């Protein structure tokens, strides 16, 4: 097996996380006031247009591991979004502005709709700890897959030239076929999502106090 070093990744704190079990349900009607789109509107992704499943991929603008996965994220979106999978990019960093996210989407040619999660509401409910990390839910709020996109990243600083396991793609395919997911939980390798400080919590609550609730507007 050939191992490729990722020396460019060393500037960002990373870790490998074992994904938790995915048998907990989440009421899709539960309010998510801290989750907002890039226009500042509160969004509940589970209450948008009907979908066969809801996919969240958590990323950071400054995470080299997540950025290297941008082409694969876009490929999965183009394959599965037309098949009624609601796909969302989630930016959990409270300090990342909508302008920075728009620039990130443009620079990495990502077509997915983006959400800001400055209060970590989706982070906590999905149980993610790093970026990139995926969480796949059924419409009723049951999480059926949690973890890596594939096994290309072996550990921080090392990756295979090509993945041997396409875990997220396999999970999405299984959902569409109505079959059990072979591996519902996989370890994720990426940039650590730090816990919110009291300052961050107060800031995000203040920033969101004037946000409107309703359907997300088209992003520019």
In a domain, 125, yes or no: yes
Of the two residues 207 and 126, the one the predictor is more confident about is 126
| Between 131 and 210, residue with greater pLDDT | 131
**What local confidence, expressed as pLDDT, does residue 205 receive?**
55
**In total, how many domains does the chain have?**
1
* pLDDT tens by residue, 22-81: 444 555 556 688 899 999 999 999 888 789 999 999 999 999 999 999 999 999 999 999
Kindly state whether residue 201 falls inside one of the protein's structural domains.
no
Q: Is the pLDDT of residue 163 over 90?
A: yes
Task: With respect to residue 208, please indicate whether it lies within any of the assigned structural domains.
Answer: no
Do the strands 153-155 and 158-159 form a parallel or antiparallel pair, or are they unpaired? Answer: antiparallel
CATH of the domain at 57: 3.40.30.10
CB 78 within 8 A of CB 109: no
Is 206 among the domain residues? no
Q: Residue 79 corresponds to which tokens in the numbers above?
A: 């394959």
pLDDT value at residue 154: 84
| Residue 96 in domain | yes
Question: Does residue 112 belong to any structural domain of this protein?
Answer: yes
| Global confidence as pTM | 0.80
Q: What does the block give as tokens for 73?
A: 């994220």
In a domain, 198, yes or no: no
Strands ordered across the beta sheet of 4-5: 4-5, 158-159, 153-155
Which of 38, 103, 106, 110 lies closest to 73 in space, CA to CA?
110
**pLDDT of res. 174:** 97
Identify the domain containing residue 20 by its residue range. Answer: 4-193
Q: Please, what is the Cα angle at 104 between 38 and 63, to 5 degrees?
A: 115
Confidence tier at 204 by pLDDT (50, 70, 90): low
* Per-residue model confidence as pLDDT tens digits over 79-136: 999 999 999 999 999 999 999 999 999 999 999 999 999 999 999 999 999 999 999 9
Query: Kindly report the CA angle at 193 between 189 and 199, in degrees rounded to 5?
Result: 170
32 part of a folded domain: yes
């Amino acid at each position: 097996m050939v191992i490729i070093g990722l020396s460019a990744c060393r500037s960002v704190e990373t870790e490998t996380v074992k994904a938790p079990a995915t048998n907990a349900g989440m009421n899709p009607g539960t309010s998510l006031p801290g989750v907002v789109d890039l226009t500042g509107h509160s969004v509940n992704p589970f209450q948008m247009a009907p979908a066969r499943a809801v996919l969240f991929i958590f990323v950071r603008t400054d995470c080299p591991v997540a950025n290297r996965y941008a082409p694969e994220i876009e490929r999965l979106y183009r394959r599965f979004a037309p098949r009624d999978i609601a796909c969302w990019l989630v930016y959990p960093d409270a300090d990342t502005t909508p302008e920075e996210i728009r620039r990130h989407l443009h620079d990495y040619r990502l077509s997915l709709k983006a959400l800001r999660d400055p209060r970590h509401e989706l982070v906590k409910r999905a149980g993610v700890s790093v970026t990139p990390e995926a969480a796949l839910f059924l419409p009723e709020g049951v999480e059926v897959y949690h973890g890596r996109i594939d096994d290309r990243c072996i550990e921080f600083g090392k990756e295979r030239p090509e993945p041997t396991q396409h875990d997220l793609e396999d999970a999405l395919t299984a959902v569409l076929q109505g079959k059990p997911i072979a591996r519902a939980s996989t370890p994720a390798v990426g940039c650590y999502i730090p816990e919110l400080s009291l300052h961050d919590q107060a800031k995000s609550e203040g920033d969101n106090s004037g946000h409107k609730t309703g359907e997300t507007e088209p992003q520019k």
